[in-house]
Amino acid sequence: MKMQAIPILFEDTNLIVLNKPAGIAVHGGPNVKGITVVDFLVRHFPEVKSVGDDPVRPGIVHRLDKDTSGIMVVARNPDAFGELKSLFKERRIEKTYLAVVCGRPKSRVGIISYSIGRDAKNPTRRGAGGGRAKIRGEREAETHYRVLKTGGAYSLLEVTPKTGRTHQIRVHLKAIGYPIACDRVYGGKNVCCPEGAGRQMLHAQSLSFSFPEGRRIKFEADPPDDFILAMEKIL
């Protein structure tokens, strides 16, 4: 199988920063098909294979959903792996996303603080505390958002998750009534979806953190073409 190129935005002896395309899973698993980000890393940066505590996810310190595009940082050696894991665990990494959502939020800025857990009926899905679905293993979660543009059936949001729960942004935006466009898992089969878009309209735009301590760095990735087309639907 031909390996898709993944744009490398930055690399040094400690870090590899990628702009992950939508449609590529980060690592393998029971239901994962096709080339993954890990496959790409091991081929182009073979030293990564021995980094980390899980051979399935070498060098991986955080993940993006398969159909989410954008910035990912990878550890290139064990010391960097440990430091980055600590930064994420201690919430000292600032993550910013762009999301095209259905509808027009009433508040221009907001904070969503529903807890998140596994859906009791479908453990591959997450649910928000206080909703109708029963969830298990609830953990606190917090997402900040700011409306950048509204028009027609859609709005463009800048989203900053303060915690890192699985599917957090998708679950939280659905919980307040503004699901991400084309997200049929959380928005339902009839969720709004701009013509030409085939995946949830969520893009990891930037990561900012201190590495090493005292040196603040920021990496950014422009949205891909399908996301730009979706943004153009916001008149």
The set of catalytic residues is 65
Work out the burial of residue 233: count CB atoms within 10 Å of its CB; fewer than 13 is exposed, 13-18 middle, 19 or more buried: buried
Inter-residue long-range contacts of 55-62, CB under 8 Å, 24+ positions, other chains counted: 56/27, 56/28, 56/29, 57/26, 57/27, 59/16, 60/26, 60/27, 61/85, 61/88, 62/88, 62/164
3-state secondary structure of 59: coil
- Whether the upstream peptide bond of residue 179 has omega within 30° of 0, thus cis, is no
Tokens coding 187: 């928005």
Beta carbons of 155 and 100 less than 8 angstroms apart: yes
Query: How many residues are given for the chain?
Result: 235
H or E stretch including 146?
strand 143-151
Inter-residue long-range contacts of 25-29, CB under 8 Å, 24+ positions, other chains counted: 25/66, 26/57, 26/60, 26/63, 26/64, 26/66, 26/72, 27/56, 27/57, 27/60, 27/63, 28/56, 29/56
Task: Please tell me the distance from the alpha carbon of residue 22 to that of residue 224, in angstroms, as a whole number.
Answer: 9
